[in-house]
Every structure is written in C-alpha cells, then in structure tokens.
C-alpha cells in the first residue's frame, strides 16, 4: 500500500530567541527567498490533508539548512557558520536532527511493515536568480535512475497540464533531483520499492502576486496529486 508523506523544510523564517542577536542586521535577508521558501508553507497546508503523515519546519534555513546533509558546506549560513563548534552542535541537536530523524523513522516504520512511501517535499524557488529569469512555473525533482520516481513524475506532470495547460512544468529544474537534499539522503537508506522522493518546486512569482492565479495553482497541485496518488494506489491493489 502506498503511503503519502508530505514535508516542508523551508516553511518559515523564524529565528529562536537565543540566536536572534546574530540576525539583528539581517532582517531584510530573512524576509527574502534566502530566509525561507516564499509560499511553500501555504502550499504545504493546502496539500497536507492528502497525506497519511506530514511534517513542516518554520525555522529559517539561515539558522541551519534542513535540506542539506550534515557535512554539506552550506549546512550553516554565513550568519551561523562562525559559531563555535559546540554551539553549532547544539543547533543541530535541537533544530536539525529531530526533524530529519522523525521523518526517517516514520519511513522506516512504514516500510518495515510492507508499505511504500511517496515523499513529496514542498519547496519554492525565486523567479530570478543572479539576474537570470527561471523558465518554469513548476519543477518536479527526482532521481532518473529510480523508475518509481520517474514514472510518478511523468504522471503528475500530465495531470497538472490537464488541469492547467498553460503551466510550464519541467523535470529536474531549476535544480537536479540528485543534488544534495533530504530525498537524496533518504534514497541511500531505502530502495525504490520502499521509497519515492519527489521535490515539488513552485515559482515564487505566484505567491508574491497572490490572488486568483496563486489560489488556482494551489488547487491544481492538490487535485492533480490526489488523482495520481489514487491511481497509484489502485495499481498497488491490482484494480
């Protein structure tokens, strides 16, 4: 049986009070796409009713980057990278490991009793980076070597375009699905038959504009995901 897990690693830009002083001069940065994934938490809230289990974080990625491996050079931002190693370890123990371990333990528990887990990690991307406009409305990130992920993304793209043909939906854009990230880490722990990790990347232009277009996109994402998951579950049961 397919179980749906939905997460949002960059939902907010909150800084715990004990570290607030580090960010006194970085308030503008915290409000930008570098502080959090604009619109991602709202979209996550829209989708999570579909999930068997969901997890989100509202702590800014500028404190610690939940979507990076523990030894990645960008685990800590330029603001927190100068912290003493002991304080960095405290950040990890309180804000990094608990989140990631809850997700991994859930997947382990579900796969141990025979379920396959579909993990949708909800993210968003800035419309323009380094002066270059991103050419997509939605990106679906996956590992091309894993048939389950590849087939699911093909079906999801088709379902998205059936509902909103004007959308530009691209695979492994604006990032590669095999780049360092939480799903990439989890793929090393679980087989394709146990785990499918998809990162949903939505252009922040929709959330920034708000209004009907943003609401329509959220509804399209939800209905299309619901339909493809239902179809996958029917396939599991042999119907």
The pLDDT of residue 116: 98
Nearest to 114 by CA among 192, 6, 2, 5: 2
Q: Are 63 and 77 in contact (CB under 8 A)?
A: yes
Number of CB atoms found within 10 A of residue 219's CB? 13
Cβ contacts of 112 within 8 Å, gap of 6 or more? none
Grade residue 239 by pLDDT with cuts at 50, 70 and 90. very low
* Per-position DSSP letters for 135-152, written without gaps between them: --SEEEE--TT-HHHHHH
Alpha carbon distance 117, 119 (integer Å): 6
How many beta carbons lie within 10 A of that of residue 62, not counting itself?
Answer: 23
Per-residue confidence (pLDDT) for residue 236, from 0 to 100: 60
- pLDDT greater than 50 at residue 140: yes
Q: C-alpha angle 194/200/202, rounded to 5°?
A: 180
β 2-8/116-125 pair status: parallel
pLDDT at 235: 78
Percentage of the chain exceeding pLDDT 70: 98
User: Backbone phi, then psi, for 11, in 5-degree steps?
Assistant: -70, -25
Averaged over 12-29, what is the pLDDT?
96
**Could you report the per-residue pLDDT of 166-221, keeping only the tens digit for each?**
999 999 999 999 999 999 999 999 999 999 999 999 999 999 999 999 999 999 99
pLDDT of residue 135 exceeding 80? yes
What pLDDT was estimated at residue 238?
Answer: 47
Considering the chain, what percentage of its residues have pLDDT values greater than 90?
A: 97
Hey, where are the domains in the chain?
2-237
- Give me the mean pLDDT over the 74-85 stretch: 96
Residue 206, both tokens: 């929709």
What pTM was estimated for this model as a whole?
0.96
CA atoms within 13 A on the CB side of 144: 5
For domain 2-237, give the CATH superfamily.
Zn-dependent exopeptidases (3.40.630.40)
- Residue ranges of alpha helices (H) inside the chain are 27-30, 40-47, 85-91, 97-112, 147-163, 182-187, 205-209, 211-237
pLDDT band for 234, please (50, 70, 90 cuts): confident
Mean pLDDT over 142-159 rounds to: 98
- Mean pLDDT, the chain, whole residue set: 96
């Amino acid at each position: 049986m397919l179980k749906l897990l939905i997460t949002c690693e960059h939902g907010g830009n909150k800084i715990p009070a004990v570290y607030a002083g580090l960010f006194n001069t970085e308030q503008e940065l915290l409000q930008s796409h570098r502080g959090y994934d604009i619109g991602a938490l709202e979209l996550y809230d829209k989708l999570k009713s579909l999930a068997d289990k969901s997890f989100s974080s509202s702590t800014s990625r500028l404190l610690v980057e939940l979507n990076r491996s523990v030894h990645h050079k960008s685990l800590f931002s330029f603001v927190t990278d100068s912290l003493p190693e002991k304080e960095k370890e405290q950040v990890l123990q309180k804000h990094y490991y608990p989140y990631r371990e809850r997700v991994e333990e859930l997947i382990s528990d579900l796969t141990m009793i025979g379920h396959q887990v579909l993990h949708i990690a909800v993210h968003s991307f800035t419309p323009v980076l380094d002066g270059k406009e991103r050419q997509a409305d939605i990106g679906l990130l996956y590992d091309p070597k894993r048939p389950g992920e590849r087939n699911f993304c093909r079906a999801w793209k088709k379902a998205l375009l059936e509902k909103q043909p004007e959308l530009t939906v691209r695979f492994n854009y604006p990032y590669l699905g095999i780049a360092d990230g939480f799903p990439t880490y989890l793929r090393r722990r679980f087989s394709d038959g146990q785990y499918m990790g998809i990162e949903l990347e939505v252009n922040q232009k929709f959330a920034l504009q708000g209004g009907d277009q943003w609401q329509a996109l959220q509804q399209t994402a939800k209905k299309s995901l619901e339909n493809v998951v239902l179809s996958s579950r029917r396939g599991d049961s042999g119907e």
